[in-house]
Structure 1
């Protein structure tokens, strides 16, 4: 039996159940009674209740990722682990496979005090629950983010970098530019779409709805969505793809259709994972400072766990535009301005 089960039956948040156990005075009498009745009915026994938080340490950190198979996260995890080990902490990994219920279950480990703190590389549960939990336990959000969320966050500015990448294509002379997005329910997908739209509008270029196709982060979706673009009566001359893995799929679809990248269609990606520098043609992309994101997130978590307050909670790191052959321009590195 888990705390999340109590929360579901009592129709309250996991954070509320935690407060009933550790800080009952902060919960209304009616809600407290309802939760206690469910706890009694289920015979729920928490492993380590929240009031033990400051006196017991596990020396363990939990890092929650949305999909461990994605190459992007390996360098972020390395930055987290190197910093954790240097400070005497072990790191355990939780892979949600983009399942919101599994994300809740991993957060439950923090509530039961089986880990000392948590770095989330994904945030799909509701903002209210995250903030309630972060008020009691050390938590840092990295890579992904939520608007208005009062939790320490480390990321890049996805809107400005997507805008910069699209403007690069425009400056190369392209006017028919398409965008293959990630899942639109993910904030990173919406931000990169917004950056693409801002660049197109800035240069008075037509935003054709057919030129925007939604993918799912995978090679296969990059391939399939590019085929849809190639089936249009008027095909784009350039495509900005949400990430490098999808960009590889998109380039494969162009090749299989008898066309050439970048001669017939320019393709750019995002993230600068290893494959982008070895695939042919090598892929123009945005380099996220993955190791630095992980290191910064862990540094912030260490401060929270030591009881140190943070005067600043939002950290936007610098990224780079990496120009390679897939866009048809001469290879170079352009640094984006720090936000």
Structure 2
């Protein structure tokens, strides 16, 4: 099936420009219009007329699709989204999927029925081809997660670099036996964070030990259970990097109830920067994501798509920070920022 992005690539213009030509808008130059029409003819592109007609109707409502509403990480992302939406007169609907791909698809169907003007996906677990087909016809933005090689507008951080930074911090503290608790390995974020862990070990000539890598699901319960596995090893790790703060907090509890101390016996580092990580004792050293800004920028991108404006940049990568607290044992001032 020929898509609008195929036409845009051949004509060397944006999909929004192709849409303008199809809508016969006067602000498109004759030269650009000819390039687009030639590409349409060459590719034998047949636009979805119904989709284009429906897009002209406004509901002033957008939907945010969330994989797990119980995860506190998403609350600040949603706050950023709503901040922009309210200023522009948009209502925000929330679709919680509980990591069910079928439910993600059901929520996307609301675009087809014109019950919403656009969607922000805080999850990208459906087949990439399926998401791309929707994004070709309707305003869709990805935030936090992303599709590798996709041109869908996306806001995220560099998860590989962030994970490498967290692991290197533990290595600089003298640790050589570092456990890693990943998220589900069918998610690109989990793969990226594992990659960063591997890179840090390789750059410091530390051999990867398979038993020191355990797969969680980003929940505190999985962090607790994976830490119990580490503690059962003949040579438990002296430090653990959990790829979410919730898992780090679960790991912290497992260490404590087994009579060990953090950071005296085991150092712990998390990922995300949720508020709860500051409250637990000891407070969790973590990679802080700019959650509010991720949501804010994602909503700005979505509004540009809804209003058919050109996007100066489709892929936005925001900066993360390593916040040093007591859980890793570093002798530094609380909340020192390391870039």
1:222 — aligned with what? 223
Question: What is the Cα deviation at residue 152 of structure 1?
Answer: 0.3
Map 1:87-126 onto structure 2 (within 5 A).
87-126=88-127
Map 1:124-203 onto structure 2 (within 5 A).
124-203=125-204
Map 1:316-327 onto structure 2 (within 5 A).
316-327=317-328
1:333 corresponds to 2:336: yes
5+ residue gaps in structure 1? 1-24, 33-47
Question: What is the Cα deviation at residue 26 of structure 1?
Answer: 4.7
Q: Deviations over 1:234-286 (max 9, x none)?
A: 11000000111111110100011110000000001000101100000000001
Contact 1:84 1:298 in 2 (8 A): yes
SS at match of 2:271: coil
SS at match of 2:114: coil
1:283 — aligned with what? 284
Question: What is the Cα deviation at residue 146 of structure 1?
Answer: 1.2
Question: What is the Cα deviation at residue 311 of structure 1?
Answer: 3.3
SS at match of 1:285: strand
Contact 1:320 1:333 in 2 (8 A): no
Distance 2:96 2:50 in 1: 24
SS at match of 1:184: coil
Distance 2:140 2:298 in 1: 9
SS at match of 2:180: strand
Question: What is the Cα deviation at residue 206 of structure 1?
Answer: 1.6
SS at match of 1:240: strand
TM-score by length of 1: 0.84
Q: Deviations over 1:68-89 (max 9, x none)?
A: 0000000000000110010010
Deviates more, 1:51-60 or 1:281-290: 51-60
Runs of at least 4 residues off by over 3 Å: 25-28
Distance 1:286 1:104 in 2: 31
Question: What is the Cα deviation at residue 52 of structure 1?
Answer: 2.8
Report how many aligned residue pairs link the two structures. Answer: 294
Distance 1:243 1:217 in 2: 6
Question: What is the Cα deviation at residue 319 of structure 1?
Answer: 1.1
Question: What is the Cα deviation at residue 130 of structure 1?
Answer: 1.4
Distance 2:299 2:271 in 1: 24
2:266 — aligned with what? 265
Distance 2:217 2:125 in 1: 15
Distance 1:102 1:78 in 2: 23
SS at match of 1:252: helix
Contact 1:64 1:94 in 2 (8 A): yes
Contact 1:319 1:335 in 2 (8 A): no
2:237 — aligned with what? 236
1:60 — aligned with what? 61
Distance 1:195 1:174 in 2: 16
Question: What is the Cα deviation at residue 55 of structure 1?
Answer: 2.7
Distance 1:335 1:50 in 2: 48
Q: Deviations over 1:181-210 (max 9, x none)?
A: 111111111110110010001000121000
TM-score by length of 2: 0.84
Contact 2:55 2:114 in 1 (8 A): no
Contact 2:176 2:206 in 1 (8 A): yes
SS at match of 1:269: strand
Contact 2:285 2:327 in 1 (8 A): yes
Contact 2:267 2:327 in 1 (8 A): yes
SS at match of 2:272: coil
Question: What is the Cα deviation at residue 332 of structure 1?
Answer: 3.7
Contact 2:324 2:338 in 1 (8 A): no
Distance 1:224 1:319 in 2: 28
